[in-house]
Amino acid sequence: MPDHTHTHPAPSRPLRLGIAGPVGTGKSTLIATLCTRLSEELQIAVVTNDIYTDEDARLLKAAGVLPVDRIKAVETGACPHTAIRDDVTANLIAVEDLEEQFAPLDLMLIESGGDNLTATFSPALVDAQIFCIDVAGGGDVARKGGPGIERADLLIINKTDLAPYVEVDVEQMLRDAGDVRAGLPVIALSRHVPESVDALCDWVRSVRTAYGEGRSVPQDPGPMAPHSHGHEHATG
C-alpha cells in the first residue's frame, strides 16, 4: 500500500503576517505593541506601506520598538490596496531583503497603508492576516461586513477604551462580528487593557506555531469590492 502519511518540514522563512484596515484604526500602534511584547522571544522585522511617505516606518523607528534597520518602508505611490493585493512585487522585495539580511527571522509584520474597508492582502504576500477596525469608526462597522471583516484570520475591534466616549457598545460589535465571521476569531483590543494585548500576543503565537508545524494554509479573504476613484490604476 502506498504511504499517504505527509511530513511537513519546518518552513525556511518566517511567518508573514499582514495587518490591514482603514486609516487611523491603530495598525502601527498594534505593530509597535507586538514588537515590544514579543521581541524577546521572537526575531521580528516590519515592512510598512504608505502612499507617498515613509511616515509609518518613521513613527515605528522613533518608537524604538525594534532596531531601525529591521523596519523598511514601501512607498506605494497609488491606492495602498494595489501594493498588497494586485501587484505585490515591491512588498515581496522588501520582505525578502529583510529575511535575508536578518536570517533567521521568526515573524515578518507587513502593515498595509490605511485604506478603505475592503482592502485585503494577497495570499501571495502573507501567510495570515489581521483586519483592524476601531470603535471610533462607529458601532455598525462590524455588521456591515466586507472581505476583511468577514474572512481575515483575525478581526481586531480596536480602541475599546474609547467606546464610552463615542457611545459604542463593544459587546454588540463583538456579536455583530461573530455573526458575519462564521467562527473566525475576534479580539476587542485596547493598548490600555493588558488582557486584550495578551490575547493578541497569544493569537500570534498560536498562528506561528501552526505555521511552523506546517498546519497553516493561507486563506484569501477575497478581493475588494468594485470601486472607483479619482485616478487610473496601471493596467498590464
Site string for ligand GTP, 80-119 (x = CB under 6 A): ----------------------------------x-----
User: Is 212 annotated among the ligand-binding residues?
Assistant: no
- State which of positions 54-73 bind ligand GTP (CB under 6 A): 56
Q: Is 5 left (phi over 0), alpha (psi -120 to 50) or beta?
A: beta
C-alpha distances in Å from residue 98, one per residue of 47, 70, 102, 106, 207: 9, 7, 6, 12, 21
We find the least distance from the C-beta atom of residue 28 to ligand GTP, in angstroms, to be: 3
User: Is 222 annotated among the ligand-binding residues?
Assistant: no
Tally Cβ neighbours within 10 Å of residue 43. Answer: 16
We find the least distance from the C-beta atom of residue 109 to ligand GTP, in angstroms, to be: 12
User: Is 25 annotated among the ligand-binding residues?
Assistant: yes
- State which of positions 12-31 bind ligand GTP (CB under 6 A): 23-29
Tell me, by CB under 6 A, how many residues bind ligand GTP.
15
Q: Is 161 in the site for ligand GTP (CB under 6 A)?
A: yes
The helix (H) or strand (E) run that includes residue 143 is helix 141-144
C-alpha distances in Å from residue 122, one per residue of 19, 57, 222: 12, 21, 8
Tell me how far apart the alpha carbons of residues 232 and 236 are, in angstroms, rounded to a whole number.
12
Tell me how far apart the alpha carbons of residues 236 and 233 are, in angstroms, rounded to a whole number.
10
User: Is 23 annotated among the ligand-binding residues?
Assistant: yes
Q: Is 158 in the site for ligand GTP (CB under 6 A)?
A: yes
Considering only residues 190, 200, 216, 224, which one is a binding residue for ligand GTP as defined by CB under 6 A?
A: 190
Pairing, β 15-20 against β 186-188: unpaired
Residues that bind ligand GTP (CB under 6 A): 23-29, 56, 114, 158-159, 161-162, 190-191
- Annotated binding-site residues for GTP read 21-28
